Structure 1
Amino acid sequence: MALHPEIARIVASLPAPPPGPIDPAVLRADEESHVPAPDDRLPLHAVDDAVAATPSGDVPVRIYTPAEADSYGVIVYFHGGAFFLGSLDTHDHVARALAKETGVKVISVGYRRAPEAAFPAGLTDCYGVVRWVAEHGEDLTWDRTTLAVAGDSSGGTFAAAVAAMAHDDGFDRITHQILYYPSLDLDFDEARYASLRENATGYGLETAGLKPFNAFYLDSGADPADPLVSPIKREDLTGLPAALILTAEFDPLRDEGELYGRRLAEVGVDATVTRYSGANHGFVANFGWIPEYAAAFAQTRDFLAGALAEKASGR
């Protein structure tokens, strides 16, 4: 299948990257300039900014409540952005859509970013918020049944790493990991995955841009050989939470996400992997308004509901 025509039209209109070194401040300002005004965002029952007190310090979070209820399942969401971009505001629409479609409470994490914060600052913020949710379940009206971690792109890296950290710590409250086109292997050697070569140019995210965009994170002390940096390098995947992994046909990172799903399934982890045809990297965040890709939110809903149904039936 070819790239979806709406995606192809927008990709073709993208300006060439400016010459010279990447300036985080400039790119962040450009991202923030495209954030819709509050009145133009998907309405929910409540959206509240708060601060999670964690061992790594106070972490800003945004809590999305889809409708009035006595209790809620919770998704802790980590935004993407190559570890130096993205924010609570730039990914506000993703969190709103997740809450609206799944019916669970979504807690989006404003973790510290590279290069200002060295590894593992952002990761420890994310893990700390998950533990904070469990510790403050009564205040958050958490149902103590569903506690998922979710992330897109580099946020998917954090979601997979947090699931592994929790398992190693004996913290067994995470029930699901939801990874949208995740970056799971920060060794960008093109020989490692066919998708790095097949989707190298012309689809928005380009293989040649992976190293410079992730350099802020890697130069801050993140070692690509470390399984907390490249979760696919973890040797033992047994005991990890059920996984939903959504990949994009025209994404350089496609194959590593799909390989991770196969490796999880091989050791008995419930892993669902779906490749979205005609999509490119970022389709959930950038093209969720296209019906074919809005289906990602419905699939997330069904994944959570299916796992709960199995638990309730004792399977």
Structure 2
Amino acid sequence: MPESPPEPTTTDRVRGAAARALGRLPAPLQDALADALPGGPAPAVDGQRLDPAVRLLLALNPDGAGNASHVRADPVGARARLRREVLGLAGRPTAVGRVQNLVVGGAAGPLDARLYRPAHAERPPLVVYFHGGGYTQGDLDTHDEPCRLLCRQAGHAVLSVDYRLAPEARFPAAVEDAEAAFRWARDHAERLGADPGRVAVGGDSAGGALAAVTAQAVRGRGGPVAQLLIYPSADHPTPRPSRTLFDGYILPDALRRAYFDVYTRGTGVDDDDPRLSPISGRLDGLAPAFVVTAGFDVLRDEGEAYARALDSAGGAVALYRQAALPHGFVNLTGVSPAARRATVAVARRWRRFLAEHAAGGAA
């Protein structure tokens, strides 16, 4: 019988409650408190100013999403730690019409999944969603609130998929699961109460890369009608300026590299393989893409380069940068009002984008 997933400790919950309380303070006071703490992040970089609530959170917890050496040495332990921290920071869950746990078809067997349905919607569009976490972390619970917000604010059904993670399942397991899960959702959309003619794909960070790779693998007839790519990992080998400018704002570049090392160790895959770096893939004929980037993010430049590459290939693209926020902001909605507003704005703009570009009528 599998072990129960780790839950937040009392310390995690106390820290989360404190972070939520600090997030409600006036912005000038948050900045002043962050200024008083040693080693906090710079408040302004590259013409952008960091959200004060996030700045204070990072000043209090400079380790951000985790430690690269911990991820390399004990990826399963690092996964458990991140889960506890994310759940500790979460606030009250956003209400949606219905939430249902179910099983979908993966590449090597069944995968756990969670379906979110909006209230008072018949046959809404369906977004097959892949969570972030560097291919080694994250699960249905760590990304429960982002999926709830997407469902409620976009009015779309969301199918969150718990694909296989490294090191238990290294590359290309996650890619194969993502493609298989999308095909399963497309074929079962009617049964899920969604419109089979409006099945999209989405995800954040590593999950954004999986969504992009899935859109490339299943293009044209039977493919997704649109892509929602939230700060996607799009170009692993190219050292763009954001990797240096925003090193340490939630996602240090060393941690980014550690995730890839754990995911690909021993596989012999090249860094520019399109299944790792979708910018290297064939970009013509893809579904319309709504690309979201975060200003304080090592992945900012590659996500925006991917949007430009899609545009150059003739695709329909919208690029939306959240300049004041870091990588992972969809998981910070419980402690940063700005992150919550941004996530709501992403969902509402995505709704309009899908309505404009997807076949089958208004979303």
Q: Does 1:183 align with 2:233?
A: yes
Q: Distance in 2 between matches of 1:274 and 1:153?
A: 15
Structure 2 vs 1, CA of residues 21 and 265 (structure 1 numbering), >3 Å: closer, same or farther? same
**Residue equivalent to 2:83:** 32
SS at match of 2:275: coil
CA RMSD across the alignment: 2.3
Kindly name which structure, 1 or 2, has the bigger radius of gyration based on alpha carbons: 2
Q: Distance in 1 between matches of 2:186 and 2:258?
A: 36
Tell me if structure 1 keeps the 8 A contact 2:89–2:332: no
Structure 2 vs 1, CA of residues 31 and 6 (structure 1 numbering), >3 Å: closer, same or farther? same
Aligned-residue identity in percent: 35
Q: Does 1:61 align with 2:137?
A: no
Structure 2 vs 1, CA of residues 271 and 63 (structure 1 numbering), >3 Å: closer, same or farther? same
Structure 2 vs 1, CA of residues 13 and 172 (structure 1 numbering), >3 Å: closer, same or farther? same
**Residue equivalent to 2:42:** none
For residue 270 of structure 2, the aligned residue among 203, 208, 223 is: 223
TM-score (norm 2): 0.78
Q: Distance in 1 between matches of 2:350 and 2:83?
A: 27
Structure 2 vs 1, CA of residues 171 and 24 (structure 1 numbering), >3 Å: closer, same or farther? farther
TM-score (norm 1): 0.89
Tell me if structure 1 keeps the 8 A contact 2:68–2:255: no
Q: Give how far 1:179 is off.
A: 0.6
Q: Give how far 1:300 is off.
A: 1.7
Q: Which residues of structure 2 form unaligned runs of 5+?
A: 1-47
Structure 2 vs 1, CA of residues 262 and 118 (structure 1 numbering), >3 Å: closer, same or farther? same
SS at match of 1:72: coil
For residue 241 of structure 2, the aligned residue among 188, 194, 209 is: 194
Q: Match for 1:216: what amino acid?
A: V
Trace 1:145-294 onto structure 2 (pairs within 5 A): 145-167=197-219, 171-187=221-237, 190=239, 193-201=240-248, 203-219=249-265, 221=267, 222-234=269-281, 236-287=282-333, 289-290=337-338, 291-294=340-343
Q: Give how far 1:307 is off.
A: 2.0
Q: Match for 1:199: what amino acid?
A: F
Tell me if structure 1 keeps the 8 A contact 2:291–2:319: yes
Trace 1:10-159 onto structure 2 (pairs within 5 A): 10-16=57-63, 20-22=69-71, 23-34=74-85, 35=87, 40-159=92-211
Q: Which residues of structure 1 form unaligned runs of 5+?
A: none
Q: Distance in 2 between matches of 1:66 and 1:36?
A: 26
Q: Give how far 1:56 is off.
A: 2.6
Q: Give how far 1:78 is off.
A: 0.2
Structure 2 vs 1, CA of residues 9 and 95 (structure 1 numbering), >3 Å: closer, same or farther? same
Tell me if structure 2 keeps the 8 A contact 1:241–1:269: yes
